[in-house]
Structure 1
Amino acid sequence: MEANHTLVNRPNFIFILLDDMGWKDLGCYGSSFYETPHLDRLASEGMRFTDAYAASPVCSPTRASILTGKYPASLGITNWIGGDAKGKLLDAPYLRYLPLEEKSMARALKEHGYRTWNVGKWHMGGKDFYPEKHGFDVNVGGCDWGSPHKGYFSPYGIETLPDGPEGEYLTDRLTDEAIRLIQQKDQAPFFLYLSHYTVHTPIQAKAEDIAKYTEKAKKLGLDQLSAIEEGELFPCEHKKHLRVQRRVIQSDPVYAAMIDNLDWNIGRLLQALEETGQAENTVIIFTSDNGGLATAESSPTCNAPLQEGKGWMYEGGVREPLIVKWPGTIKPGSVCEVPVTSPDFYPTLLEIAGLPLLPEQHSDGISFVPLLKGEDSLEREAIYWHYPHYGNQGGTPGSSIRMGNDKLIEFFEDGRVELYNLLADLGEEHDIAKERPDLAEKLQKKLSQWREQVEAKIPVPNPEYTQSF
């Protein structure tokens, strides 16, 4: 244990991780239907990132990446739900747990005197790999489930969270638990990993909040518009008889109510920090684990102008809201356009805390403290993704690279590539691979070299595949 005077001077951390929240699901990111005054205020007091990325278009890989500072492909955790056995390609092998030999961000902070608390979703393995095994002193609500077992109203059926009164709402309860922890008086700093299940399916909210947005949708005339567009055929060969069910406007009152309730709870958490005198010594990070659910499973949100959503490697699947508040350091209301990604959080928090970096652990992450202090660049050549699986939402196996403003996606089923300039084409509507074959070849080569470097698993042909239509 370090000297008490050193611990007292170190900041607290609250890392708020949302589930399936899209890039445009906040008012400060452009939503005119969802109301998020508390999160908008947080952005006005801190820094909002326009080009923040999840390490994967699905949840578990991103969560593992955040806590280890490694890309999912480096960890071998590239999916959670098993792949489609009927596909043209076999699902690439992957780990279904976070290995204990990984020194998590929580463990690194704990070794320097931090109190470490997980409140909410875990989704990185069974009991032998729960938060307590990865450096967390407290685990409230974290288990192997990726969504609320019995829904958002008590009884929850979550083994690490005792049921509350009948009808209690899960987001309220997890916030209550978080507030209870930060109200504890102790000289040691804390790391609160508040991982809300919301807005993952099932889409459920309180009746009064639903009524608010049902009325708002009527006033805006949204209830008279066609919200779901039957889009193009699924890109994976074995589902080409199906069409993408894409939401084209934000108008779902139940989803909006979930976000409204989340925002209210963020306000409660911020108020508790103020009341306990800890607001000025607490760094707050708010982000999501993958893009909004926009193409399947009732498609509750719309990520436009971004293409597609959860389960896809287009921007709608991986670009995330990210807000960071660091009192006394970040210029209030600042906006950063430099790309950052999930592995970067680990070295960033260590540097903010004044702790030694662990490059052998967070090998894929780069501290973005310089950006928080007002600089406008990072020493990084490219950001990578590897998702060798069929997404439940329509995405197909592939890899991707962003270098500068150029982004290339390589699809494994047919070997094709797509190339986009995100500065000119944020919606990835104009594939320029044929116009710029030199650039496409350069990026594809770099992507291939990276896959070899991290020993990424590649799906192989399915010998039992037959096209049935």
Structure 2
Amino acid sequence: MNLPTRLILAGWFLLPLASTEAAEPAPTKPNVVIMIADDVSWNDFGCYGNPAARTPNIDELASQGMRFTKAFLTASSCSPSRASIITGRYPHNLGRAAELHEPIAANLAWFPAVLRQAGYYTALVGKNHMAAEPPAAGQSPPAKPWDLVDPGVTPDNHGAEARWTSTLKNRPKDKPFFCWFASLDAHRNWDADKEWVAEKYGPKHQPEDVIVPPFLADEPATRQDSASYYNEVTRFDYFVGEVTRTLAAEGELDNTLILVLADNGRPFPRAKTRLHDSGMKTALVAHWPEGIAGKGVTTSSLVSVIDIAPTVIEVAGAEVPETVQGVSMTPIFQDADATIRRFAFSEHNWHDYEAHGRSVRDGEFLYIRNSRPTMAWQGPADSVRSPSHQRLRRLRDDEKLSEAQADVFLAPRPVEELYKTEDDPNQLHNLAFDPEYKQVKSRLSKVLDQWTQETGDAVPEHLTADQFDRETGESLKPGKGSKHPRGTPPGGPNDAIHIHQAGPR
């Protein structure tokens, strides 16, 4: 690491050697911009090898920055994933926020609040989906994370991106800034199709050009569904480019760490909410000319999205709170071969349907443990309602599913799954009961046990039950005047909100 970069990362400056020398100005603190897509799988950007995806602006950032090939989410579910990123903690260590639409425990620090206290202007524009529980009696309220919160939706853009660039232009010019730009693209139901502006986004994606994964039906309804999804990804990409061009025009691009990623996999069967790569792996592109060594760098170093919080806090020169369980990625910015962790852990908790699954990756193997094996992992309700899922359902009823497609409905499921991910990128061949991989399974099972114990995870007796029909995706109406009861969150029995151990890394 060269000296200027070290100074920037530490947030320090050199004092003059003698009083007669002119004082050197303190280096400007780096700005940070995170652009997070909604429901986009890791391989649906062009720079990750999808020949049908049109993402020229993200591809350009990758060509000038760093592309991570082994970055993993902690949850393939919108709000738990975002809450995990914003706190640097595993979902079960967040309290009720381990489950969809639930708030984060009041005692936990959010990294934008740390930046704001360090003198940053902080703005959230777009999808929020994160809330803090009110403090208990006698408990201090959590520090305010945002100077600006703007839902970002305009009449002609329901992707929530239209005010990203104006936020940059109108920010206070006397402070470093952190912006969390959160798109609603590509969340169902699709709206980019009817809001399409060809002069901005180019031609719409055509059904015949999309890539259909083996666990979907390669038929017209699925292809049209996928083309509409691709359109949302391309609209997100356009605004990534608008932000990058605005930063350049403002003279801030070189001094800004940009991170582009998604909160979970695409909203299709066997993706969103899955522990497999189609749900839990994320694209992660980093761009920071003053802080990343080299251009067009690809790194296979293993990272988790809980590592974003300590990275950004370190870049800002602030102190990482004890509640953060992640580890900084800054060594990888200087050396693409650096190792910051040996394992990445992920969770599948309630998202429309009862669930409790856990996984660990070591960069070569993926090990999954399922505490609700009698239940299918069919995907969330919006995916179940989709044309893609309903076409699979008809094929199932006609007994015409392939083995890969049948996994969408499989019940009971294996309690354990093991995959060698480089050889099996879609994780279709379970090695958990292959004698050749007995030692691998045993080793990763022990690592998962250790993580479970040290971080306070648990399988409560009463988890939150299904709130949607597993066949149709339609809401299961509770009794008149009542609400669906919530179960015990997975970290509840062990008071995991007060456990800050990270487990094996």
TM bracket (short chain): 0.7 to 0.9
Partner of 1:309: 271
Residues in 1 aligned to 2:65 and 2:297: alpha-carbon distance in whole angstroms? 7
Partner of 2:391: none
Partner of 1:302: none
CA contact 2:331–2:340 (8 Å) conserved in 1:
no
What SS does the aligned partner of 1:320 have?
coil
Which of 205, 217, 223 pairs up with 2:206? 217
TM-score (norm 1): 0.75
AA of the residue aligned to 1:417: E
Query: Residue 335 of structure 1: CA displacement?
Result: 0.6
Which of 279, 290, 294 pairs up with 1:328? 290
Superposition map of 1:346-425 within 5 A = 346-358=309-321, 360-362=322-324, 364-389=325-350, 391-392=351-352, 396-414=355-373, 416-425=415-424
Residues in 1 aligned to 2:304 and 2:359: alpha-carbon distance in whole angstroms? 13
Partner of 2:82: 63
Partner of 2:157: 169
Judging changes above 3 Å, is the alpha-carbon distance between structure 1 residues 116 and 208 closer, same or farther for their aligned structure 2 residues? closer
TM-score (norm 2): 0.70
> Is 2:67 aligned against 1:48?
yes
CA contact 1:246–1:294 (8 Å) conserved in 2:
no
Q: Which has the larger radius of gyration?
A: 2
Residues in 1 aligned to 2:323 and 2:312: alpha-carbon distance in whole angstroms? 14
CA contact 2:68–2:283 (8 Å) conserved in 1:
yes
Residues in 2 aligned to 1:247 and 1:31: alpha-carbon distance in whole angstroms? 21
Partner of 1:448: 449
Superposition map of 1:111-122 within 5 A = 111-122=117-128
Query: Residue 18 of structure 1: CA displacement?
Result: 1.2
Q: Give the number of the structure whose residues are more often strand, by fraction.
A: 1
CA contact 2:77–2:263 (8 Å) conserved in 1:
yes
Partner of 1:294: 268
AA of the residue aligned to 1:449: Q
Residues in 2 aligned to 1:65 and 1:185: alpha-carbon distance in whole angstroms? 28
Superposition map of 1:249-288 within 5 A = 252-288=226-262
AA of the residue aligned to 2:72: Y
Partner of 2:99: 79
Residues in 2 aligned to 1:133 and 1:109: alpha-carbon distance in whole angstroms? 11
Percentage of pairs with the same residue? 26
Extract unaligned runs of 5+ from structure 1. Answer: 82-95, 142-160, 232-244, 296-307
Give the count of matched residue pairs: 397
* CA displacement 1:165-213 (0-9 Å, x = unmatched): xx42133x63324433444352210001111111111111144749888
* CA displacement 1:4-60 (0-9 Å, x = unmatched): x98761011101111111111111112222211111111111101111111101111
Residues in 2 aligned to 1:316 and 1:197: alpha-carbon distance in whole angstroms? 19
Partner of 2:458: 457
Superposition map of 1:46-195 within 5 A = 46-76=65-95, 77-80=97-100, 96-125=102-131, 134-141=144-151, 164=154, 167-171=155-159, 174-195=161-182
CA contact 1:398–1:411 (8 Å) conserved in 2:
yes
Judging changes above 3 Å, is the alpha-carbon distance between structure 1 residues 204 and 350 closer, same or farther for their aligned structure 2 residues? same
Partner of 1:205: 192
CA contact 1:7–1:189 (8 Å) conserved in 2:
no
Query: Residue 333 of structure 1: CA displacement?
Result: 0.6
Extract unaligned runs of 5+ from structure 2. Answer: 1-11, 14-23, 136-140, 374-413, 472-505
Which has the higher mean CA deviation after the structures are superposed, 24-33 or 338-347?
A: 24-33
AA of the residue aligned to 1:17: I
AA of the residue aligned to 1:380: R
CA contact 2:164–2:243 (8 Å) conserved in 1:
no
CA RMSD, 1 decimal: 3.6
Judging changes above 3 Å, is the alpha-carbon distance between structure 1 residues 346 and 132 closer, same or farther for their aligned structure 2 residues? same
Judging changes above 3 Å, is the alpha-carbon distance between structure 1 residues 221 and 16 closer, same or farther for their aligned structure 2 residues? closer
Judging changes above 3 Å, is the alpha-carbon distance between structure 1 residues 310 and 215 closer, same or farther for their aligned structure 2 residues? closer
> Is 2:48 aligned against 1:29?
yes
Judging changes above 3 Å, is the alpha-carbon distance between structure 1 residues 185 and 412 closer, same or farther for their aligned structure 2 residues? closer
